[in-house]
A and B are shown apart, each in its own frame.
Chain A
Amino acid sequence: MSESFSMNTPLTAADGVPLKTRLQQQRRMRQLKALLLVLPLALFLLLTFLVPIATLLTRSVDNPEVVSVLRETTQALKPWDGKSLPAVAVYDALSRDLQRAQAEKTVPDAAKRLNMEQSGFRSLLQKTARKIPLAPEAGQSTRDAFIALDERWGDVSHWQVIARNGSSWTPYYLMSSLDLRQGADGKPELVPEDERAFLSIFGRTLWMSFWVTVWCLALGYPLAYWLATLPTRKSNLLMILVLLPFWTSVLVRVASWIVLLQSEGLVNGALLWLGIVDAPLELAFNRTGVYIAMVHILLPFVILPAYSVMKSIPPSYMRAAISLGDHPFAAFWKIYFPQTIAGVAAGALLVFIMCIGYYITPALLGSPQEQMVSYYVAFYTNVTINWGMAAALGSLLLLATLLLYGLYSRLVGANRLSLG
């Protein structure tokens, strides 16, 4: 293989392949093996987790109903100027579409979708479909016949709604999730005051998560500090009191809080008996109840990481500062606290991320004014069967979560995550 040896000749392995290539080959083999080990899980998550979520995301802009049911109408509306009444040919197309849809029983799909943007459209479309085919009187065009049936067919705004849905995707759901709508001039505008809901729901979700996080920090930090400074045997014993609720089913805890907080519950009973209040306080089914239960559920997520950070700080640092003349509070603030910030902040961020996705606790312990975004995702999925809206709200919630998760990964590093 090699004719001469010189200093330039690369080192070779036993079989004569240059050592560098050989090592590289081996590294590649190792990488390949590692990837092969990861592959089954990656595929599994792709199918059970990533693809379903991606499908959900596409539903937030998906708009098949009008295009498929009123196929010819939407085609015929393409050249329409959007200002005057559409041509007679458009009415003819609508007549044919409705006749076919009536046979296929698909009228309600389109009616439901159009009704979202213009109320009353559902009954208009269904009423019209039932009367199809129309029999225009002599000298009457199909257009006249439609308008004679219901004068709303002579109203440009109804046609604008159909035309707007002539494409198989729509910004409607995402815009509605932000309380926006397409104004008469086609530009986005805020919906009227009494229909606005989602901006305040997003705001509330963040606001409540913020307060739950603050409370978790306020209660969890001192406790973690105390546990970290206690002798190990004692702290291990007390740690069980933190871990036990952590391992207990969330539903068990919610049920318990209902028992404790309802107006004839234990807390009110105790307060009345002690004479602190003379009428039961409202603690459950309002914000107080949701805060109490959520703080209870999430508190261990602050305590556990804070505790493990604090355990790793040698107590000698504080002692040194104090013996050098610092007041214990000053020593704590200047020496101890800064070392715990990173770990505690990571825990707090994790709590915040978990909070914004909460559903069960507010659903069971709160009134409608406590429901967060997740509740509305479930509401639109189950109750009104408006899957576009559910997907749009879900997409925005997911976006917020992923941004925070990205921040968290930068702060902690996803591969440095640990559990207690």
Chain B
Amino acid sequence: MLPSYASPVERVWFYLFRGFNILVLVFLVSPLLAIIPLSFSADSFLVYPIKELSLRWYEEFFTSGEWTRALMNSFIVAPAATLIATALGTLAAVGLTSSEFPGKSLIMSILISPMVVPVVIVGVGAYLFMAPLGLTNNYFGLILVHAALGVPFVVITVSATLKGFNVNLMKASANLGAGPLTTFRRVVMPLIAPGVISGALFAFATSFDEVVVTLFLAGPEQVTLPRQMFSGIKENISPAIAAAATVLILFSIALLLTLEWLRGRAERIRTLQR
């Protein structure tokens, strides 16, 4: 905070700096706020000013075949991809942190690479590879590739949690007569659960927000919410997009709150361990 003895220059600088940062924060949230009112517009084009209020676009979003199918698909593909990514990613993270072995950092780099490889390359590669196998226009192929894209997040978050993990706890459990499975289930799992869940949330969000791979792999039956929005923005810009956007913003608020709550819980567990 600004001390009372600050010089005028310091004072001006302080307010300028604060003003600048507030503007940046406004820049960050303004688009989210700008689109919400449009979802209540009765007009069929996505423009201000709103002449008449209406809930017709919410009705369209929740009743039209296209949007409900997209919503349903998103809730099929994302959870399935999340489950695969979380299961495989957690196992791998446990393996990677439990022991040193040659080539470990290379393996780690490869496991994380789906996060950095341009997604168009993943999409085209998967498309040309899977089309002859009959895995395009099909839920299965889409879920597999979405899972691959979500894996790095699980590996990173679970590894991070495991690093703060006290190995003595496992030894203590073993000393007290628990088998490795019981130890994993009753000691390790509760401790790394926040990491696993936040990794899973990242994986979920990745799949839930993914559009490029979906563009290539999904047929009309597999159109997901972002894919539907993509053609909406490109083709028929109607306020139904705004309604979908509003619903998605509410959903991301829920995700964010869950994650923050988990983070708080993880902090508390970590302090308990010490």
Contact = CB atoms under 8 A, between A and B. Distances in A.
A323 to B, nearest CB: 13
A354 B99 CA distance: 31
Contact of A31 (B92, B101, B208): B101
Interface residues on A, range: 35 or more
A76 interface: no
A341 interface: no
Contacts of A353: 116
Contact of A34 (B96, B105, B130, B260): B96
Interface stretch (A14-22, A50-58, A157-165): A50-58
Interface residues of B, number: 95
Interface stretch (B58-66, B155-163, B186-194): B155-163
Contacts of B197: none
Interface string A383-398: 0000100110010011
A252 interface: yes
A315 to B, nearest CB: 12
Contacts of B212: 359-360, 378
B35 A45 contact: no
B34 to A, nearest CB: 5
B177 interface: no
B226 A249 contact: yes
A8 interface: no
B18 A41 contact: no
Interface stretch (A81-89, A121-129, A170-178, A261-269): A261-269
Given A248-B248, A360-B230, A255 B35 contact: yes
Interface stretch (A91-99, A110-118, A410-418): A410-418
Interface string A339-378: 0000000000000011011011000100000000010011
Given A243-B260, A255-B242, 16 more contacts: A31-B100, A34-B95, A37-B98, A42-B111, A51-B129, A56-B121, A56-B129, A59-B128, A245-B28, A248-B249, A249-B245, A254-B233, A255-B232, A265-B47, A300-B28, A357-B117
Interface of B: 10, 17-18, 20-21, 24-25, 27-32, 34-35, 38, 46-48, 84, 88-89, 91-92, 94-96, 98-101, 104-105, 107-114, 116-130, 144-145, 147-148, 151, 153, 155-157, 159-160, 202, 205, 208-209, 211-212, 215-216, 225-226, 229-230, 232-234, 237, 241-242, 244-245, 248-249, 252-253, 255-256, 259-260
9 contacts: A38-B91, A41-B155, A45-B111, A51-B129, A250-B211, A357-B117, A357-B118, A394-B120, A394-B124
3 nearest interchain CB pairs? Answer: A357-B118, A37-B95, A256-B31
Interface of A: 27, 30-31, 33-38, 40-42, 44-45, 48-53, 55-56, 59, 219-220, 222-223, 226, 238, 240-245, 247-260, 262, 264-266, 269, 296, 299-300, 328, 353-354, 356-357, 359-360, 364, 374, 377-378, 381, 387, 390-391, 394, 397-398, 401, 405, 408-409, 413-415, 417-419
